[in-house]
């Protein structure tokens, strides 16, 4: 595998379910990101991890819980979501913390909350 991979690619869950999204990067990067893209809206940054430490939480509700066990893996744990949380969730990685480092994106997980 190369680049940034995300699993699952599609997920349908009920409001009472607990699920997790997984992201893995094979690029040797030190920064990882979660973005949300809702219909008709721009990509919104959710969380940033630099060297496994969370450095940004963009006012994300606590029903979204990120986890970064190492620089190559990033998880987004989901619980008691709402239908308005249905969106495309994109993971990205970059070499470091500089804004000049290009971010590489995974293909995304299409989430539907019923």
Partner 1 sequence: DQQVKQNSPSLSVQEGRISILNCDYTNSMFDYFLWYKKYPAEGPTFLISISSIKDKNEDGRFTVFLNKSAKHLSLHIVPSQPGDSAVYFCAASAGAAGNKLTFGGGTRVLVKP
Chain contacts with partner 1 (rule: CB under 8 A) = 4, 31, 33, 40-45, 48, 50, 55-56, 90, 92, 94, 96-108
Nearer residue to partner 1 within complex by CB, 14 or 96: 96
Least Å from the CB of residue 69 to partner 1: 20
Task: Give Cβ neighbours of residue 35 (< 8 Å, ≥ 6 apart).
Answer: 43, 44, 45, 46, 89, 90, 91, 92, 105
- CB of residue 30 vs partner 1: minimum separation in angstroms? 10
At its nearest, how many Å lie between partner 1 and the CB of residue 26?
Answer: 14
Give least dist CB 13 to partner 1, A.
20
Sequence-ordered list of residues with C-beta below 8 angstroms from that of 25, at least 6 positions apart, any chain: 3, 4, 5, 32, 72, 74, 91, 93, 104, 106
Closer residue to partner 1, CB minimum distance, 61 or 96: 96
Nearest CB to partner 1, comparing residues 66 and 94: 94
45 contacts 35 by C-beta, under 8 angstroms: yes
Q: Compute the distance between CA of residue 25 and CA of residue 71 in angstroms, rounded to an integer.
A: 8
């Amino acid at each position: 595998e190369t680049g940034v991979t995300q699993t699952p690619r599609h997920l349908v869950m009920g409001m009472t379910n607990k699920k997790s999204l997984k992201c893995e990067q094979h690029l040797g990067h030190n920064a990882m990101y979660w973005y949300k893209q809702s219909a008709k809206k721009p990509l919104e940054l959710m969380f940033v991890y630099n060297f496994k430490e969370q450095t940004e939480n963009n006012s994300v509700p606590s029903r979204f819980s990120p986890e970064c066990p190492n620089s190559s893996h990033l998880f987004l744990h989901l619980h008691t979501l709402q239908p308005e949380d249905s969106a495309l969730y994109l993971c990205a990685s970059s070499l470091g913390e500089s804004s000049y480092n290009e971010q590489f994106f995974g293909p995304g997980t299409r989430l539907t909350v019923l």
